[in-house]
Amino acid sequence: MVISRRWAAFLIGVGVWTWAIWPRFGVAIYKDDRSFADGAPTSFLWVHALLIGASLVIGTTVGVLGIRAWRARRS
């Protein structure tokens, strides 16, 4: 499969966007009053942590694929 440089740049941008947005969202969730009850994490925190973790893994994978496609088009 051949990916154009434009699509490769888009994939890299998605990876960067993921790492720019989700960690900040994670901090907001951690500071939310619903995240802890009596000092213990709630399901609200765990569900959001799982979603954030999955999004970071997917974003990283997409970004790496974009970088590999960019490099492959150069040669």
Q: Where are the domains of the chain?
A: 5-74
pLDDT digits (tens, 9 = 90+) for 18-54: 999 999 999 999 999 999 999 999 999 999 999 999 9
pTM: 0.88
Residues in CB range of 40: below 8 A, 6 or more apart: none
CA distance 57 to 44: 20
**Which pLDDT score is estimated for 75?**
67
Would you give the distance in Å from CA 13 to the centre of its chain?
11
CA dist 44 to 6, 10, 34, 47, Å?
38, 32, 7, 5
CB atoms within 10 A of CB 8: 20
